[in-house]
Amino acid sequence: MEAIETFINHYNYVITIFLMMGGLYIVIARGNMVKKLVGLSIFQTSVYLLFITPAKILEGTAPILDPAYSVYSNPLPHVLILTAIVVGVATIALGLALTALVNDAYGSIEEDEILAKDPES
Amino acid sequence: MNGILAQLPILQVVVPLFGALLAAFFRRGSTAYVVALIVSWLMPVISGLLLWQAMTTGPVSYHLGGWEPPWGIEYRIDVLSGLVLMLISAVGALIMPFAWHSVAAEVDADRQSWFYCMYLLCLTGLLGIAATGDAFNAFVFLEISSLSTYVLIALGHDRRALLAAFQYLIMGTIGATFYVIGIGLLYVTTGSLNIADIASRLPGAFVVQPHAIFAALAFIAVGLGLKLAIFPLHVWLPNAYAYAPSVVTAFLAATSTKAAIYLLIRFAYGVFGEAIDFRTLAIDEFVMVLSLAAMFVAAFVAIFQTNVKRMLAYSSVSQIGYITLGIGMANKAGLTGAIVHLVNHAMMKGALFLALGAVVFRIDSVKIDDLAGIGRRMPWTMTAFTVAGFGLVGTPGTVGFISKWFLVIGALDDSSWLLVFLIVASSLLSLVYVGRLVEVIWFRDTGPAAARASDPPPSMLVPTLMLGAAVIYFGIDTTWTAGIAERAATILLGGRG
């Protein structure tokens, strides 16, 4: 019973860890450059959840001062994650641009095929 | 203190950032170059003033937007960060004159303004890492420098540069994300993002949630380990260095891994050291074993490389091993050795890669066979190359000797004769690859490729020679390197040294 209760109380962390490991697995296991970037994106997104989850306070409202409310959510993690999202977008955009250039140069985005075309590296 | 002097810490970051914007607006490569040149020559002045302030009046604290720390972002420059700032900006300033001919030869004309834009962004990021006192702000700068680095590498002429950049992008992003996860765990447990504030709250939080803090330590150490290419997380480095434009290789080898090492030292000693005794967990031994593996395996791989750029890239992995070895020793002499080697290695690899850049400029090849007898054709360049090469080995009279001297003393303080033996033995391995290069360059008959070569124009030769001269000068007068490093190590170890 206790295990189930812990699981339900922390289900958001379970989802976060699942996405984190899933994303990382895709990055490592897939040779297709676009799929690698998809995995990377999932991995990064899980971290957004990791930050946002503890910022939510039960019964808390948006952090705008108002006499009617006394409990607020923590705004700082949201701001941090806005920054992290920008970094993530830039990373994926650059990764896709590089993938397009690799496709022009090699005619493929499969890592094993590309490596076979440059035997000495 | 008032006026512009009080704003120095933020100018350190804002000047290159706006320089990058300007460089992007001027679509002409030559105009962008002038912007980059002015900015990179301004930086050492600012860093020098900051380091001087940190040395004489203690840490410089700057509150962004007037918000008091720990709520606002604080820029904090102490002796260690001042030294790293000085190193990065000095290398950046030295490399810029070299860049003019080298970039013109290696990067397409319509991309040159973007090259300088990216170079300035990279400078912004690296300087920001050293200047900031905020853990999350450090992540943003880490990513600014990394993203611009991926672009700089991808600008290399060889199509393999694209692959190297992509590989680095994947590994670097995983590293940065690990770092943010670690910061998230620290934030949840301590409620702060200011590095000094985290450090003061950590012992209390450690009593309540030791596991979360261990996890944070693991994530931050592995994340930064990826960025600084600690063995065995170094696989991105050889290709990235080998196929990037020559100027970029010299700049990266001298500065970018160093900024990540700085951050690791900051977290290991300035934050986690407050709560966790590394010795009881054998973390120090773990780091030392990895460092020794880097020193031997990477040096061994370097011996068999035929591409000289790749050879020196593997040598970088092995030299980073010395730095992390000193960090792992966790005593004063060892940590001093690590910090001083951080600076010294930058000079040596800067000189080596600039000299190689001159070779690429003349004969467009870095194959070891094409370098046969090139010493007689490019005597000045190759003299700087050889001096820096012997520095890597640790010859007395060069900076490499100073670093190894401190590391050996650190090993003796641990009364570990085995470690002393291994440090000396790995130097012999570096003697093998440096010796191989020296033999080819000076004692072989001049080959057909090298016959076309001659010393490069002064704008390329002078920076190379200056770094080569620095390898000898700072090997004799160590006031500015080892002296400052020792002060920084004493502060970091606090009462625990």
The reply to whether B268 falls in a domain is: no
Q: For B474-486, write each residue's pLDDT tens digit.
A: 999 888 888 899 9
Q: How far apart are CA B170 and CA A28, in angstroms?
A: 10
Interface membership of B154 toward A (CB under 8 Å): yes
Contact A101 B143 (CB under 8 A): no
Taking the CA of residue B184 and the nearest CA in chain A, the distance in Å comes to 6
Q: How far apart are CA B81 and CA A13, in angstroms?
A: 36
Which DSSP string do the residues of B262-295 spell out, in sequence order? HHHHIIIIIIGGGT--HHHHTHHHHHHHHHHHII
The reply to whether B493 falls in a domain is: yes
B147, B160, B193: residue with CB nearest A121:
B160
Nearest-by-CA chain A residue for B239: A121
The reply to whether B343 falls in a domain is: yes
Q: How far apart are CA A108 and CA A115, in angstroms?
A: 10
In whole numbers, what is the pLDDT of chain B averaged over residues?
91
Domain count, chain B: 1
The reply to whether B489 falls in a domain is: yes
For residue B193, count other CB atoms closer than 10 A to its CB: 24
**3-class SS of residue A69:** coil
Interface membership of B367 toward A (CB under 8 Å): no
Asked if the model's pLDDT at residue B342 lies above 50, the reply is yes
pLDDT score recorded for residue B426: 92
Which DSSP string do the residues of B389-422 spell out, in sequence order? HHHHHT-TTSHHHHHHHHHHHHHHHTT-HHHHHH
Interface membership of B177 toward A (CB under 8 Å): yes
The reply to whether B487 falls in a domain is: yes
Contact A98 B239 (CB under 8 A): no
In whole numbers, what is the pLDDT of chain A averaged over residues?
89
Q: CB burial class (10 A; 0-12, 13-18, 19+) of residue A59? A: exposed
Q: Are A57 and A71 in contact (CB under 8 A)?
A: yes
Interface membership of B316 toward A (CB under 8 Å): no
Q: For B114-159, write each residue's pLDDT tens digit.
A: 999 999 999 999 999 999 999 999 999 999 999 999 999 999 888 8
Confidence bin at B497 (pLDDT 50/70/90): very low
The residues near B139 (Cβ < 8 Å, ≥ 6 apart) are: A84, A87, B176, B179, B180, B183
The number of angstroms, rounded, from the C-alpha of B360 to the middle of its chain's C-alpha atoms is: 23
pLDDT score recorded for residue B496: 47
User: Domain residue spans in chain A?
Assistant: 2-117
pLDDT score recorded for residue B452: 83
A51, A84, A98: residue with CB nearest B162:
A98
Taking the CA of residue A49 and the nearest CA in chain B, the distance in Å comes to 11
B159, B169, B177: residue with CB nearest A95:
B169
| HSE value, Cβ hemisphere, 13 Å, CA-based, for B343 | 34
pLDDT score recorded for residue B6: 83
Residues of the domain holding B345: 280-497
Q: How far apart are CA B237 and CA A102, in angstroms?
A: 19
Asked if the model's pLDDT at residue A96 lies above 70, the reply is yes
Taking the CA of residue A59 and the nearest CA in chain B, the distance in Å comes to 19
Q: Which long-range contacts link A96-105 to residues 24+ away (Cβ below 8 Å)?
A: A96/A34, A96/A37, A98/A33, A98/B150, A98/B154, A98/B162, A98/B165, A98/B166, A98/B169, A99/A33, A99/A34, A99/A37, A99/B166, A101/B154, A101/B162, A102/A33, A102/B159, A102/B162, A102/B163, A102/B166, A105/B159, A105/B162
**3-class SS of residue B217:** helix
Q: For B89-110, write each residue's pLDDT tens digit.
A: 999 999 999 999 999 999 888 8
Asked if the model's pLDDT at residue A121 lies above 60, the reply is no
The reply to whether B2 falls in a domain is: no
Q: For A19-60, write each residue's pLDDT tens digit.
A: 999 999 999 998 899 999 999 999 999 999 999 888 888 888
Q: Are B344 and B402 in contact (CB under 8 A)?
A: yes
Contact B136 A77 (CB under 8 A): no
Q: What is the mean pLDDT of residues B277-302?
A: 87
Q: How far apart are CA B426 and CA B11, in angstroms?
A: 42
The reply to whether B193 falls in a domain is: no
Q: How far apart are CA B76 and CA B199, in angstroms?
A: 14
Q: How far apart are CA B25 and CA B151, in angstroms?
A: 18
- Name beta bridge partners: B61: B76
Q: What is the mean pLDDT of residues B10-33?
A: 91
Chain B residues close to A118, C-beta within 8 Å: 159-160, 163
Interface membership of B212 toward A (CB under 8 Å): no
pLDDT score recorded for residue B140: 95
Interface membership of A13 toward B (CB under 8 Å): no
Interface of A with B in 34-93 (CB under 8 A): 36, 40, 43-44, 47, 50-51, 54, 76-77, 80, 83-84, 87, 90-91
Contact A44 B173 (CB under 8 A): yes
Q: For B71-94, write each residue's pLDDT tens digit.
A: 889 999 999 999 999 999 999 999
Dihedral sign from CA coordinates of B135, B138, B139, B140: positive
Q: For B156-200, write each residue's pLDDT tens digit.
A: 888 899 999 999 999 999 999 999 999 999 999 998 999 989 999
Taking the CA of residue B205 and the nearest CA in chain A, the distance in Å comes to 16
Interface membership of A24 toward B (CB under 8 Å): yes
Q: Are B254 and B346 in contact (CB under 8 A)?
A: yes
Contact B170 A95 (CB under 8 A): yes
Asked if the model's pLDDT at residue B12 lies above 50, the reply is yes
Q: CB burial class (10 A; 0-12, 13-18, 19+) of residue B491? A: middle
Q: Per CATH, which fold does A2-117 belong to?
A: Helix Hairpins (1.10.287)
What's the token pair of residue B56?
């004489």
| % of chain B beyond a pLDDT of 70 | 99
Taking the CA of residue A51 and the nearest CA in chain B, the distance in Å comes to 6
Longest dimension (CA), chain B: 70
For residue B416, count other CB atoms closer than 10 A to its CB: 14
Contact A90 B143 (CB under 8 A): yes
Confidence bin at B2 (pLDDT 50/70/90): low
| Whether this model's pTM surpasses 0.90 | yes
